[in-house]
């Protein structure tokens, strides 16, 4: 089973996603910021990172760029519901930084599961 890291500062979203993963027998690691994610990645073997773009401090674009350089084998799914700019622009920028896939919030479990399965 792939080791998954979810990075998002929205605690209710993280709780909801954690519940969905648990229902499907998947345990995830969680970080609420870029710095937390990088600290966790330095200690844990992660296969897939799902990250929001709008995060406190360093944003998800910085995280994607850093992970691509330090951990090139990690598959990255960028997610966004928008923020200072529209979500389509954020997700295009994430693809430019070589995120493997993007999802617009809100998204359904089936959409996420399809992406995760495509990485197997």
Domain locations along the chain: 4-115
Q: Check: CB of residue 64 under 8 Å from CB of residue 94.
A: yes
Give the per-residue pLDDT at 19.
Answer: 96
Mean pLDDT of 1-5: 91
CA distance 23 to 19: 6
Give the per-residue pLDDT at 29.
Answer: 98
Q: What percent of the chain has pLDDT over 70?
A: 99
Q: What is the pTM of this model?
A: 0.95
Tens digits of per-residue pLDDT, 58-115?
Answer: 999 999 999 999 999 999 999 999 877 888 999 999 999 999 999 999 999 999 999 9
Domain 4-115 has CATH 3.40.50.2300: yes
């Amino acid at each position: 089973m792939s080791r998954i890291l979810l990075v998002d500062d929205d605690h209710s979203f993280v709780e909801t996603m954690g519940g969905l993963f648990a229902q499907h027998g998947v345990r995830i690691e969680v970080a609420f910021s870029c710095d937390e994610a990088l600290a966790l990645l330095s200690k844990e073997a992660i296969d897939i990172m799902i990250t929001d773009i709008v995060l406190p401090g360093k944003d998800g674009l910085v995280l994607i760029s850093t992970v691509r350089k330090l951990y090139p084998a990690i598959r990255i799914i960028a997610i966004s519901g928008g923020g200072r700019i529209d979500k389509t622009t954020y997700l295009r920028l994430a693809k430019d930084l070589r995120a493997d896939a993007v999802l617009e919030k809100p998204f359904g479990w089936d959409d996420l599961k399809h992406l995760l399965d495509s990485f197997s």
